Structures are given as structure tokens and as C-alpha cells.
Amino acid sequence: MEAAAELFLGTWSYLVDGDPPWTDYSHFSNKGLTCWCFAIPSRRQPQVLWFKVEPPDTLHFGHPPNHTGWTRQYRFENNDRFVMSCGDKSWIYNRIAPEEVPDWVTAAIDAALKE
């Protein structure tokens, strides 16, 4: 795994601008996969995507194994916070310590990324 991709490893939370707003989660693994966990019960099925970092500031996502995918711009504010954007929308991602990850998110990540 490239050094730039290693910056993303771990579990992150981000606020979704809804009514009311809610928090969703994303886990970046060292296998080049990310698992998105959605807080809304109707969307609780985790979504697994491959990811790669394209210098200098682009994340490329896709559905395994061959989907061409899409890109998002990113900017790290520090090691525990980055901003991902697409056009005029942006989301602030905050790294979560393993002991702070909700149990339902840990279970979803474990099940989704099982080999």
C-alpha cells in the first residue's frame, strides 16, 4: 500500500447534512477497501468499495472488482481530520479511536470485510 493511502487507514465519522443531521462512518482498510456504514436504518447495509489515492489530492472509489468508479477531492487538515469534496459539497471526516467506534459499525465492518 502506498504511503498516501496509509494516511486514511482506520475508521472515520462524518456528519451528513439532513433534517436532522446524522453521523455516518467509513473504514479504510489496508487491503485497499473502504466500508461505508450508514446510520439510517433503511441504509444499514454496508457498502464496500475499493479505493486508491491519486496524487496530489484525489481519492478514487469503485465497486469491486472492475467498476471504473468515481473520484473525490480531499485535503488533510491534520492526521485525524480531512475534508472530502465533490463540486460544491464537502464532508469533514474525523478519525475515531477503535474504542469509540459504535458496536454496530464494528460488526458491519467485520462482516463486510471478511475474507
CATH code of the domain containing 65: 2.40.128
Distance CA 56, CA 37 (A): 27
Whole-number pLDDT of residue 1: 64
57 within a domain of the structure (yes/no): yes
Whole-number pLDDT of residue 115: 57
Whole-number pLDDT of residue 38: 87
Residues contacting residue 99 through CB under 8 Å, at least 6 positions apart? none
Domain count, the chain: 1
Q: How confident is the model at residue 22 (pLDDT cuts 50, 70, 90)?
A: confident
> Which residue range(s) make up the domain with 9?
3-98
105 within a domain of the structure (yes/no): no
Per-residue pLDDT tens for 61-106? 998 767 788 999 999 999 999 999 999 999 999 999 999 999 999 9
Percent of the chain with pLDDT over 90: 69
113 within a domain of the structure (yes/no): no
Whole-number pLDDT of residue 40: 76
